[in-house]
Structure 1
Amino acid sequence: MWIDILPDLLRGSTSTFCLLILLPILSRNKLKPLITWTLMPMIILVDVVICAQLYMTRNYTGVLYYSLAFYVVFIVGLKMLLKDTYLQWLFNSVTVLNTYAIIVIASFYLCYLFPQPAYANTAIRLVLFALAIVFFKKILRPLYLEVSENWGAFLLPTSGILVGYLYILTALDDVESSMNQHSGYFYLLILITLLTYSAILLSLKSLRGKFLLREENIRRQANEWLLKSEIASYESTVIAAKQTRHDIRHHNAIIAEYLNSEDLKGALDYLALYESNLQEQPIKNYSKHPTTNAVFRLFERRARQKGIKFSIQAEADHYYHSDGADVGIMLSNLLENALSACQACHSIEKIIVYRSTLQNGSLLVEIENSFEGNLEFENGLPKTTKPGGGTGLKSVVRMVENYPGMITIQQSINRVIVQMIFPIETPQQNA
């Protein structure tokens, strides 16, 4: 008897196993992976034992109703273990159930194209679920985690599709014979499902682009504010220094008067009072370019606080001829990446080196920083593992190309080196 229902058991357990893997992919799970993998065999075992009783009587309609009830209860219970909002959780659950319906229906029709349809059905489901898992993890999950709005709009059409599947499946007396007799309805519903999710995917990509642009603008404005503050601080320091030099003449005259009167004690007391009121305002000039000098002051202070050595050799920064804000944003993004890379180092010296020199009539800028590990490159740029990451570097590349200039990024032993080359005279200047 068990041999007779073996294909059914394989098919059912495979579907349950893949569904349990698929459900948490789009969510922020609170459970540790070890707990998840411990609970999964127990859930599958209970499911197999219950379904086996139905398979023995070939009651596939009963299996359908049981599976629906089981998955609904499981999904509702799963909400307590997730960090998602209710709308995200509902969209995730509906999407997984729609995916499950497509795979079950598609495997039912495709299995007859192969020998041993009963076992081919299981193999087809396994392949389709594997493709769905890869698609969810690599494409849909990054979009899903970054977009936090409009889930209600996405939920409406997907819920309608799920209702369509449930209505067709439950309205028929015998599931197996009805699927054979009304295949056109199922083909049409699968097509509608694929078209709907394609539209949702395009919408998610569009929203993601808008969110990234908004974040980039916010970061740019914040960096501009920091640079303006640093420049203002630098200018006030210069003004204070000029005032101090101007006031020194008066102090010298007062001291000379004390000495001419042979009042040595009065001169010493005056010097002590002047020294106590004197405020040191050290002026650090790293560059002749005011914006880059502000950037260096800002990041040198950050690097010093984090125990990172920051070496600056800005010999040719005054040849930057782009808008000061663009130069500031460009260098800020690169130095911020360099600081992050240095902070992640544990077994090597943490160092950042900035160099700007003239080379063959062009401005050559190099930023070198410590780095542990191996970078993966895509289209000449390091791949990021952070959701939504890489925006700052893409912004730098766009600014360099608009300069116009060239940028290259390479990795050597324990170092990452960014090189930028800018022409001193641009076509716009020569026109």
Structure 2
Amino acid sequence: MNIMSSIQVFLYAACMTAFFYPFMAGRKEPGKSRIKKVLMVFAVYMVMYFIGMTTSVYGWLCMMAVIVLLAAASKFLDMEREFTMLLGVLFFCARKLSALVMRSVSFVVDKRLEQKAETLEMTKSIFSRAASNYAFVAVLQMLLLSVMLCVMGRLLKKKIRKLHIKELCYLLLIPITGILFVNIIFNILLIVNENLVFQLYEQFPVFLGIVPVVAALFYAGILITIVFYQKMIGLQEEKEKYFVEQQQVHAIQERMEEVEQFYHGICQMKHEMKNHMTNIKGLVRNGSYGDIEQYIDHMDESMNVFELTIKTGNTVADVIVNDKQKAAEKQGIQFQSEFSYPKSDGYNAYDIGVIINNLLQNALEACEKMAEGKRYIYLSGRQKKKFYLINVKNSFEGEVTFDTKTNLPLSTKGEDISLHGIGLSNVKREVDKYMGDVDIRTRKNEFSVTVLLQERRKK
């Protein structure tokens, strides 16, 4: 039995490792690092349960120890601590529910083997039959557990985000209740009191069907909870994206109104130019050269109000880039632009505006944390045949942690964590329209984002 128990622990450890693997392995991660993570999850389970077997420690203590150790090592696994705890509890709940279902199957198989043993001669020994029954049920249980974990894993991979404590408690409610239910049933399946033996399934055969059904309902409840939570996440993200988009549209509309006033002012200045020239000629005839100089200086000041220092070739881009340049100058940030709007009609001005607005806004926020004299932002945009490249570089301090699933930086803003990252996710969404790509790199104290867009054909 010790050999069978050891094999069972080994198989459980392999199932848990396979369950954790998709969530801890990044796409661009080196193979050696992935192997270390896999071995760690496998070793934690094996070691804790082998210690439990040799010291007769209760199973629930081993379970808690495994969850706590994996949660403590969540940074090494490149996973959120709360999400690591959720995966651990879900695994043990599925393991116990599958074991409970198979206990009913085992009871039925045992009864049939006993009936055959009474009518056949030269049968195998009772120990041999018990061992074969145990192995058969164990294989079925591993298959059932694998299916349960596979379904849960696919659901969880659809939408993942950092869990808050309230969300973690919501997701853990049913699996923890399921674990407690299974422990209660296992404790009353067989009760020995002096010379009395009480076996639940013999005394109440109806429980052979009720217990597996209840276990299935617990599992269904877990899946439904995950699905509802993901829908809630989707609605929240849509709400956040809508809020940010509305803010961006409102800001662009305000700046467009300013541009309209700017061009209206130029038209007025053009009409007034004749009057200015008449006044200057009158001052020349009177020999009032000092007044002429003051008059011209006043004209220069009036015209500077309507001047855009950066010309990109597109009105929307002019508005955004010049607006960010002014914001940078107020914060003492060196701003350099070599941005040229693409000449092709295969690009939408609003989409380009959303991209550069989000990238420059993130750069401004990063530069705010830098010491004066080290702040800079560099913007470039150039077209190469059917492709258009946008690059934003800026100074920054600190470390950048990337989400292994989206390859976008994770937030470090604390309270604003729900809204942070939406800027880059909005950029990614616009880039996907053009079958493009977003490349993010960090080098020393420089953060660089390069966006590649592919020209779209007109319908």
Check whether TM > 0.5. yes
Task: Tell me if structure 1 keeps the 8 A contact 2:17–2:38.
Answer: yes
Unpaired stretches in structure 1, ≥5 consecutive residues: 26-31, 259-265, 285-291, 315-329, 342-348, 354-366, 373-383, 398-407, 422-431
CA contact (8 A) 2:86 2:172 kept: yes
1:159-174 matches, within 5 Å, as 159-170=173-184, 172-173=186-187
- Which residue of structure 2 aligns with residue 17 of structure 1? 17
Written as runs of structure 1 = structure 2, the 5 A alignment for 1:379-418 is: 416-418=454-456
- Residues 19 and 100 of structure 1 are in contact (CA less than 8 Å); yes or no, is this contact kept in structure 2? no
Q: Aligned match of 1:52 in 44, 50, 53?
A: 50
Structure 1 residue 226: Cα displacement: 2.1
Match of 2:63 among 63, 68, 73: 68
Q: Look up the match of 1:221.
A: 250
Instruction: Name 2:153's counterpart in structure 1.
Output: 133
Report what 1:118 is aligned to: 138
Q: Which of 318, 325, 332 is the matching residue for 1:297? A: 318
Change (3 A) 1:295 1:198: closer
Moved more, 5-14 or 122-131: 122-131
1:79-126 CA distance string (max 9 Å, x none): 888999xxx965773465135412553377479799855355445545
Aligned positions of 1:280-291 closer than 5 A: 280-281=303-304
Q: Which amino acid aligns with 1:139?
A: K
Paired with 2:261 and 2:317, the residues of 1 have a C-alpha distance of: 14
Per-residue Cα deviation, 1:135-191 (whole angstroms, up to 9, x for no partner): 32x3121xx35x97xx73773474254234224325632789989953333223223
* Residue of structure 1 equivalent to 2:382: 351
**Is the contact made by 1:23 and 1:92 (CA closer than 8 Å) also made in structure 2?**
no
Q: Distance in 1 between matches of 2:23 and 2:434?
A: 39
- Partner Cα separation in structure 2 for residue 7 and residue 38 of structure 1: 22
Match of 1:199 in 2: 228
Deviation digits for residues 37-70 of structure 1, max 9, x if unmatched?
Answer: 646635643542442355579x7xx563133321
Aligned length in residues: 338
Identical amino acids, percent of aligned pairs: 8
- The change in CA–CA distance for 1:193 and 1:96 in structure 2 (over 3 A counts) is same
**8 Å contact 1:230–1:298 — kept in the other structure?**
yes
Given residue 337 of structure 2, which amino acid in structure 1 is its aligned partner?
K
Q: Do the aligned residues in 2 keep the contact of 1:54 with 1:63 (CA within 8 Å)?
A: yes
Instruction: Tell me the SS of whatever aligns to 2:456.
Output: strand
Q: TM-score, normalized by length of structure 1?
A: 0.57
Q: Are the structure 2 counterparts of residues 8 and 63 from structure 1 closer, same or farther at C-alpha, using a change threshold of 3 Å?
A: farther
Find the aligned partners of 2:137 and 2:180 in 1 and give their Cα distance. 25
Give the match's secondary structure for 1:221. helix
Q: 1:306 to 1:126 in 2, by over 3 A?
A: farther
Contact 2:94 2:145 in 1 (8 A): no
Q: Indicate the residue corresponding to 2:352 in structure 1.
A: 334
Distance 1:340 1:51 in 2: 50
User: So what's the TM-score if we normalise by structure 2?
Assistant: 0.54
3-state SS of 1:206 partner: helix
Unpaired segments ≥5 residues, structure 2: 107-132, 191-198, 202-206, 326-334, 360-379, 392-405, 409-420, 437-451
Counterpart amino acid of residue 153 in structure 2: I
| Equivalence for 1:323 | none
Cα pair 1:308 1:350 within 8 Å, conserved: yes
Counterpart CA distance in 1 for 2:428 and 2:51 is 59
1:250 aligns with 2:268: no
Name the CA distance, whole Å, in 2 between partners of 1:102 and 1:250.
90
Amino acid at match of 1:97: V
RMSD across aligned positions (CA): 5.5
How far the C-alpha of 1:214 sits from its partner, in A, is 2.2
> Are the structure 2 counterparts of residues 215 and 107 from structure 1 closer, same or farther at C-alpha, using a change threshold of 3 Å?
farther
CA contact (8 A) 2:96 2:182 kept: no
Q: Contact 2:44–2:66 at 8 Å: present in 1 too?
A: no
SS at the partner of 1:310?
coil
User: Offset of 1:249 from its aligned partner?
Assistant: 0.9
Amino acid at match of 1:295: V
